[in-house]
């Protein structure tokens, strides 16, 4: 188990604002564990009692809709902190986090997070900015679902998956491999429609398909669609 003050992942989140002494304290109190693909990190409605730092891997954050189905709100990758808003607002989690691949995660207890939020101005500013950015992303996602066609939304999501997870250097396929159902969920359409659109994009030379793997071939045209 690595120590927080030596962990490069801290540089990608608000933890970078903490002093060496504060990071050393977190190292003594945190828990490190593995979440296997398909396992749930926390459920909507849980009392989190701390913050999860994603060291590696990806997870989907979902919310139960009025039809009793999960809607994917966003994806989280290594370097992100989960549960900050719940800790600051003292509310239960409003989302469920499920691993899309094996993940390494550290759990930082609530007390340390709140102590540093009160005492370290730079840290509290970065946490607040982080929460604001998540809200901005949610607003953009809502606007896209209202004003973009399903085809345009699919292009947006495919580019976002590359931005989040990168591509395999050998196969050029997206590193984040979503099921067609999850991909359709993110786009906001039926699975059958998503499969049909992917097939159309393949015929047009925009993408290549190999099982679940997706390769973005004509990114400039995908970006035109996404705008």
Query: For the chain, how many helices (H) and strands (E)?
Result: 8, 10
Measure the CA–CA gap between 57 and 52, rounded to whole angstroms: 13
**121 three-class SS:** helix
Phi-psi region of 217 (alpha: psi -120 to 50; beta: other; left: phi over 0): alpha
pLDDT for position 63: 92
Q: Quick check: pTM over 0.85?
A: no
Q: How far apart are CA 215 and CA 213, in angstroms?
A: 7
Q: 50-56 and 58-64: which strand pairing?
A: unpaired
pLDDT at 66: 80
What is the per-residue pLDDT for 143?
67
pLDDT score of 219: 94
CA angle (37 as vertex; 156, 214 as ends), nearest 5: 35
What domains, with CATH codes, occur in the chain?
4-134 (2.60.120.10), 148-226 (1.10.10.10)
- Tell me if 174 sits within 8 A of 213, measured CB to CB: yes
* 33 DSSP assignment: E
Q: Which regions of the chain are under pLDDT 50?
A: none
CA quadruple 142, 147, 149, 151: dihedral, nearest 10: -50
Phi, psi (5° rounding) for residue 197?
-65, -40
């Amino acid at each position: 188990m690595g120590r927080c003050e030596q962990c490069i992942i801290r540089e990608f989140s608000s933890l970078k604002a903490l002093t060496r002494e504060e990071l050393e304290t977190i190292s003594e109190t945190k828990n490190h564990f593995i979440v296997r693909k398909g396992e749930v990190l926390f459920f909507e409605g849980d009392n989190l009692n701390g913050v999860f730092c994603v060291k590696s891997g990806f997870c989907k954050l979902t919310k139960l809709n009025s039809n009793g189905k999960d809607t994917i709100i966003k994806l989280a990758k290594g370097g992100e902190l989960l549960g900050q808003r719940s800790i600051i607002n003292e509310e239960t989690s409003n989302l469920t986090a499920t691993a899309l691949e094996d993940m390494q995660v550290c759990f930082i207890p609530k007390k340390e997070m709140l102590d540093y939020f009160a005492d370290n101005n730079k840290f509290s500013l970065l946490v607040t900015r982080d929460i604001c950015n998540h809200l901005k992303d949610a607003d953009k996602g809502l606007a896209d679902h209202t004003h973009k066609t399903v085809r345009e939304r699919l292009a947006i999501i495919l580019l976002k998956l590359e931005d989040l997870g990168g591509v395999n250097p050998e196969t050029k396929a997206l590193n984040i491999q979503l099921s067609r159902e999850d991909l359709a969920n993110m786009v906001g359409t039926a699975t059958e429609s998503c499969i049909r659109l992917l097939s159309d994009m393949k015929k047009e030379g925009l993408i290549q398909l190999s099982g679940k793997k997706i390769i973005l071939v004509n990114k400039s045209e995908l970006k035109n669609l996404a705008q």
